Amino acid sequence: MEMLTIGVVGAGVMGSDIAYLCARAGCAVLAYDIAPAQLDAGHLRRTQLIDRALTRGHLDTASADQLISRIRSTHQLGDLAVCDVIIEAVSERLDIKEVVFRALDEIAQPDALIASNTSGLSISHLAALTKRPSHIVGMHFFNPAVVMQLVELIEGAESSPAFMARAEHLARALGKTPVRVRECPGFLVNRILVRAMVASYREGATDTPSYHDIDAAITTRGPAPMGPYALGDLIGLDTMDLLQRDLAVAYGDRFDDGGALGAQVGAGRLGRKNGTGFVTDDHAQAHATPTRNAADTYYLAALDEALRCASEQIAAPSDIDLAMRLGAGWEIGPFSWASEQGVAQIARTLSARTDATDDVLRSIPIEEIIMEAVHHAPPSPEPNL
């Protein structure tokens, strides 16, 4: 890869990890944050990553010294005027990102690629704040960015093919697996994953098994490594509540969670971040035989949403499976799961479910999409070191 100069805006965990990845790939990096204390924290984070790589034998001392020398911290945004690429990784608040993009438009090189690491905010909206909307793309790294293989490449309404190709080339140079995603609320992985989770929450509000039992059913009978209750606690129930609300506004009742998240947040139960949640402070273990119904609820909801994404051409069917493997940690994607269950039977089951029988689903060629995904499945990428 041509040795680029890359600016990273935001020195939090994600920004620091992205800066580290860029330097590891041989690029010169300018790490910007408005707060000097945050810049110091970002430097410490990168030092810890380098120390870990040294301990594991992934770097030698000379390479580590070279890597750290490629990164320079700055609290002057104008210093990023020399950058070929700028990746924004500030807080997931639209008002903050709007300020950043307007400022970047004023100082960036005319031909610079400007990418946002947003996990769900509109790339088209951010691009429209600039005089160069064709140069703006989404590069959604998954947390922790050093470990997670997937980068969702988000195509906004005016993102040009040339700049999308540049972003894809950069992601591969960073050792990542890019999946192209046409912009939609929630993008791809979060949209499918949250749909499955809220289906479980909605059913769990009236069903008898414990949260532990539901999680056990899902991990025992399918490819997900963690059930929706433990995963919600890990993500943060306040964060999940905001995601669910935004997606319910965008897509309607199929993202209704039965009030489960609001009840937890209203009671001050936020998951692992404060030691309370669905299962975080409940040390009881699953005791019942995991029920097939709980697993079917979860995986059929994920499959339903994946089919909608494929039908809307948000991503190619094989890429949807790949994204769920690399971004959500599933052993196989939802289409491959459906294939293993029996395509014809799954199609009948999905079409018969009360929450899935609508005009959109009936118009989707379920079996064709599943078979296309399985037929064109790419090989598993090598894991990041």
| Domains, the chain, with CATH or none | 5-182 (3.40.50.720), 188-385 (1.10.1040.50)
pLDDT over threshold 90, residue 247 = yes
Q: What's the pTM value of the predicted model, to 2 decimals? A: 0.91
pLDDT bucket at 357, cuts 50 / 70 / 90: very low
User: To the nearest whole number, what is the mean pLDDT of the chain?
Assistant: 92
Classified as helix, coil or strand, 190 is helix
- Type and span of the H or E element at 181: strand 177-182
Please provide the DSSP assignment of 276-328 as one string. BSSSTT--PPP-SPPPHHHHHHHHHHHHHHHHHHHHTTSS-HHHHHHHHHHHH
Residue 133 in this model has a pLDDT that exceeds 70: yes
Bond preceding residue 225 cis, omega within 30 of 0: no
Greater confidence (70 vs 360) lies with 70
The yes-or-no verdict on residue 1 having pLDDT over 80 is no
pLDDT of residue 152: 98
Interior angle at CA 260, CA 254 and CA 261, nearest 5: 95
| 360 compared with 12, residue with greater pLDDT | 12
Q: Which whole number is the average pLDDT over 302-326?
A: 96
State pLDDT tens for residues 24-35. 999 999 999 999
The pair phi, psi for residue 286, each rounded to 5°, is -60, 130
Q: Which of 263, 212, 214 is nearest to 237 (CA)?
A: 263
Separation CA 81–CA 9 (nearest Å): 12
d(CA 224, CA 133): 37
Contact assessment for residue 195 and residue 248, using Cβ atoms and an 8 Å cutoff = no
The pLDDT of residue 347 is 84
What confidence tens digit (pLDDT) does each residue in 255-271 have? Answer: 999 999 999 999 999 99
pLDDT band at 362 (very low <50, low <70, confident <90, very high): confident
Paired tokens of 233:
């606690």
User: What confidence tier does 86 reach under pLDDT thresholds 50, 70, 90?
Assistant: very high
* Helix locations, the chain, DSSP H: 13-24, 36-55, 61-69, 94-107, 123-128, 161-173, 189-204, 211-220, 228-235, 237-251, 260-266, 292-311, 317-328, 334-341, 343-352, 359-362, 366-375
Tell me which H or E stretch contains 136: strand 136-141
Residue 148 scores a pLDDT above 70: yes
**HSE (side-chain half, CA atoms, 13 Å) at 367:** 7
Task: Examine the residue annotation and report whether 169 is marked as an active-site residue of this protein.
Answer: no
* The pLDDT of residue 361: 73
Q: Which among 58, 75, 140, 375 is annotated as catalytic?
A: 140
* Residue of 93, 320, 373 whose CA lies nearest to 187: 320
How far is residue 159's CA from residue 165's CA, in Å, rounded to a whole number?
A: 10
Note the pLDDT of residue 35. Answer: 94
